[in-house]
Chains A and B, each alone.
Chain A
Amino acid sequence: MASTAEIQSGLAEILEEVAGVAPADATPEKSFTEDLDVDSLSMVEIATAVEDKFGVAIPDDELGGIKTVGDAISFIEKNQ
């Protein structure tokens, strides 16, 4: 199981690759859409990359509830 720090840095890598977000900006309080300019289709790409990297499943109906980087980290922690 990945630690919180590992999840945060892994997620930051995915965000950089999919949406060009600088790793230093990927802090827990940031909203994907409002602060990081990630659109709904990039969220799908992030979800599939998270699924591959952390072995979790993020169904489409759960994806809508993940608003911030912190939401994503706790989702992965709970479901990994």
Chain B
Amino acid sequence: MSDTRIQLTTGAPGAAVLGIGAYRPRRRVTNDELSQTMDTSDEWIQSRVGIAERRWAEPDETVVEMSVAAGGKALAASGLAPEDVDLVVVASASLPTMIPGAGPEVAHRLGIRRPGSYDLNAGCAGFCYALGAAADAIRTGSATHALVVGAEKLTDVTDLTDRSTAVIFADGAGAMVLGPTEDPGVGPVVWGSDGDQRDAIAIPTGEGAKLTMAGQAVYRWATTRLTDTLQQAMDRAGVTAADIDVFAPHQANLRIIELMAKRLGLGEDTVIARDVVQAGNTSSASVPLALSALLESGEAKSGDLALLLGYGAGLTFAGQVVRLP
């Protein structure tokens, strides 16, 4: 038995978001279009979930293709070269194959050479889990620069004739590039799960199996159990609700977003992400997609403090405070 002590590495004092990128599929699907093929209406959909339109990916817009597009934009925004990146994490719950995963292929396509790479599935909380894991990797010295992607093609796993799910779930990808900093730009992640509700959201495997969701149970859980998580994410980052410039929770349902915002006691000028109206529920892609839209429109600005929260199948949740690049 060797008694040589294992040596550890230490990384940067903090990680920061250096760039954000997004990819929205070309095809825009309105509520009126859906009303032509199923018993629903624009009024019904808008009043229940707040969605006006969503994007549905076409065959060439795969999870990997959308990840490459979003990741490439995030890399360009960060000003880094592909070879600077040494960790690539793809969060997704709708990959066409379990093996191989998307991460190594996405990295290869972007010209990132031999990074640590894996996929992460924490349902709709996936992006915030991946962001937490990647920021921690930079702090411990396991990585210097990381590309974190959330990408979904939920139309592959949704019954597009089922009005309870087809009107909600959609496709897209968003990405962030993280790097080392003295002044932390990503706060501690607060993550957890409630596995007793494992059946609330499911995508069974097997031919023809489609996504199911117990809408009332998830709505109750999201509107009652996650306010504490958001508060903890702010507490652990040493900020208060008054410091938050942008609130960007998972874009599942506009009513959940409004209720959470009300309960948090955010300031009057806090910008609230409502990308669900245009994007539908894109699971692990929703948080970076929403941030990207706010930065593009100028509603959110570089240097703003944003409170993020992912939550979904598992049931899982993760939140953190980040400074926008």
| Residues of A bordering B, CB below 8 Å | 39-41, 43-45, 47-48, 60, 63
Q: Within 8 Å CB of B219, what residues of A?
A: 41, 44
Q: Within 8 Å CB of A40, what residues of B?
A: 48, 215-216
Q: Is B223 an interface residue (CB 8 A)?
A: yes
Separation of A44 and B47 alpha carbons in the complex (Å): 15
Question: B214 to A44, Cβ gap below 8 A?
Answer: no
Question: A39 to B216, Cβ gap below 8 A?
Answer: no
Give the interface centre of A40, A41, A60, A63 by most chain B CB atoms within 10 Å: A41
Separation of A47 and B221 alpha carbons in the complex (Å): 12
Closest residue to A39 on the B side, CB-wise? Answer: B48
Residues of B183-242 at the interface with A, using a CB-CB cut-off of 8 Å, are 214-217, 219-220, 223-224
Q: Within 8 Å CB of B253, what residues of A?
A: 41
Give the A-B pair count, Cβ closer than 8 A: 27
Separation of A41 and B224 alpha carbons in the complex (Å): 13
Question: A44 to B48, Cβ gap below 8 A?
Answer: no
Question: A60 to B214, Cβ gap below 8 A?
Answer: yes
Separation of A13 and B6 alpha carbons in the complex (Å): 64
Q: Within 8 Å CB of B47, what residues of A?
A: 39
Separation of A52 and B276 alpha carbons in the complex (Å): 29
Separation of A43 and B216 alpha carbons in the complex (Å): 9
Residue from A39, A43, A44, A60 in contact with B223 in the complex, judged by beta carbons closer than 8 Å? A44
Residues of B284-307 at the interface with A, using a CB-CB cut-off of 8 Å, are none
Residue from A41, A48, A63 in contact with B255 in the complex, judged by beta carbons closer than 8 Å? A41
Query: B43 → chain A, closest Cβ, in Å?
Result: 11
Separation of A60 and B216 alpha carbons in the complex (Å): 7
With contact pairs A40-B215, A41-B215 given, residues A60 and B48 touching in the complex (Cβ less than 8 Å): no
Question: B255 to A60, Cβ gap below 8 A?
Answer: no
Query: A60 → chain B, closest Cβ, in Å?
Result: 5
Closest residue to B259 on the A side, CB-wise? Answer: A45
Question: A41 to B48, Cβ gap below 8 A?
Answer: yes
Separation of A77 and B259 alpha carbons in the complex (Å): 28
Residue from B48, B220, B259 in contact with A47 in the complex, judged by beta carbons closer than 8 Å? B220
Give the interface centre of B220, B253, B255 by most chain A CB atoms within 10 Å: B220
Closest residue to B256 on the A side, CB-wise? Answer: A41
* 12 pairs from A and B in contact (CB 8 Å cutoff): A39-B48, A40-B48, A41-B48, A41-B215, A41-B253, A43-B216, A44-B223, A45-B259, A47-B220, A48-B224, A60-B216, A60-B217
With contact pairs A39-B47, A39-B48 given, residues A63 and B224 touching in the complex (Cβ less than 8 Å): no
With contact pairs A39-B47, A41-B48, A41-B255 given, residues A48 and B220 touching in the complex (Cβ less than 8 Å): yes
Q: Within 8 Å CB of A41, what residues of B?
A: 48, 215-216, 219, 253, 255
Q: Within 8 Å CB of A43, what residues of B?
A: 216
Query: B169 → chain A, closest Cβ, in Å?
Result: 17
Q: Within 8 Å CB of B224, what residues of A?
A: 48
Q: Within 8 Å CB of A47, what residues of B?
A: 220
Q: Within 8 Å CB of A63, what residues of B?
A: 216
Give the interface centre of A39, A45, A48, A60 by most chain B CB atoms within 10 Å: A60
Q: Within 8 Å CB of B255, what residues of A?
A: 41
Closest residue to A64 on the B side, CB-wise? Answer: B216
Query: A14 → chain B, closest Cβ, in Å?
Result: 15
Query: A40 → chain B, closest Cβ, in Å?
Result: 6
Enumerate the 7 nearest inter-chain pairs by beta-carbon distance, A residue then B residue, closest first: A44-B220, A60-B217, A44-B219, A44-B216, A41-B219, A60-B216, A48-B224
